[in-house]
Amino acid sequence: MKKRITLRDLKKMYGEEKYYNTPNDFGKEGEDHINISIQSETRIGKVCDPAYLKVINYPYVGKFNSVSSLWYWVRSENLDDNIRNLTGAKLKAYADQANLHTNYVPNFKAIIAYATWLKIRSYPDVIKAIKNLDDDIKLLSYHVVKSSGLRVRTRYADLMISICDELFKAIKEDREPDFSKFVTDPDKAGLCFMEGVLDKILTEEKIEELKAQEKERLEHRNKKFEDQEEDYEEVSEEEASSEEETSEETQSVTA
């Protein structure tokens, strides 16, 4: 006998239990929530929206006029470079016509998270504002119907709220974001999560060559950091020794 679907089951299926599915339950933006939307009343909310106009220079694939431009570029079958410069209504129309809303991309969420991080960290004022946010502030994502003021959840609320939640926590805790939680295809998570996109146009040999170069750069950077740490420790030891000698000389003169 087929199990009867209850209202509870439907809520679980369609996510109605998630707090951000009911944006009209919240008060004034900035007081109990931040709206991740181009319609946001706050600078934080506007900047975090994928459509915010800010050139993103993503490693290995280059520049895009916004995170949204990158969003649809990686979803295009032939990586159409016309998309790089499209924004706003023109980008939406292109995406609708080419049916780019549902094309699967390995590690898509990690790509958008990293691109959003590149954008946010370029604004010191936004970083400071995020650090000053109350810990109880909720993240929402909605558009406002002009005629009524009704709030309508965005289609990308699930994705952008989870991304911004991690980015905001990282900023508040003075650490790098944990992008691994957004990885869906570990085997294609190399080259800043773009491996599953680059394999559309690059040979396997070329990708392996790039990965080897990336590994070499990371090792060189880590070695440089370790050398700096050793130099710092040596200087600290020398300063400590100098202070001890000065102290002993002072005691000798006093005596």
Q: Which amino acid is at 32?
A: D
Sign of torsion, CA 209 119 76 156? Answer: positive
For the domain bounded by 13-202, which CATH number is listed? 1.10.357
CA angle (126, 129, 131) in 5-degree steps? 110
Question: What is residue 231's predicted lDDT score, i.e. its pLDDT?
Answer: 62
Burial pattern 182-213, b for ≥16 Cβ within 10 A else e, equals: bbeeeebbbbbbbbbbbeeebeeeebeebeee
Question: What is residue 17's predicted lDDT score, i.e. its pLDDT?
Answer: 79
What distance in Å separates the CA atoms of residue 61 and residue 72, rounded to the nearest whole number? 13
Query: Between the CA of residue 69 and those of 87, 91, 92, 166, what are the distances in Å?
Result: 6, 7, 10, 22
DSSP structural state of residue 29: B
End-to-end CA distance of the chain, in Å?
Answer: 98
Question: What is residue 223's predicted lDDT score, i.e. its pLDDT?
Answer: 74
Domain-wise residue ranges, the chain:
13-202, 203-255
Long-range Cβ contact pairs of 14-17 (< 8 A, separation 24 or more) = 15/158
Type and span of the H or E element at 253:
helix 204-254
Write down the pTM of the prediction.
0.81
Question: What is residue 8's predicted lDDT score, i.e. its pLDDT?
Answer: 64
* Nearest residue to 108 (alpha-carbon basis) of 203, 194, 202, 180: 194
Average pLDDT per consecutive 10 residues, the chain (255 residues; last block may be shorter)? 62 71 96 97 98 97 98 94 96 94 94 98 97 96 96 97 98 97 95 94 92 85 68 62 61 57
What distance in Å separates the CA atoms of residue 223 and residue 119, rounded to the nearest whole number? 28
Q: What is the CA radius of gyration of the chain?
A: 25
What distance in Å separates the CA atoms of residue 12 and residue 17, rounded to the nearest whole number? 7
CA angle (221, 205, 186) in 5-degree steps? 65
Find all residues with CB under 8 Å of 45, minimum gap 6, and list them.
Answer: 29, 34, 35, 36, 37
Per-residue pLDDT reduced to its tens digit, 153-206: 999 999 999 999 999 999 999 999 999 999 999 999 999 999 999 998 999 999
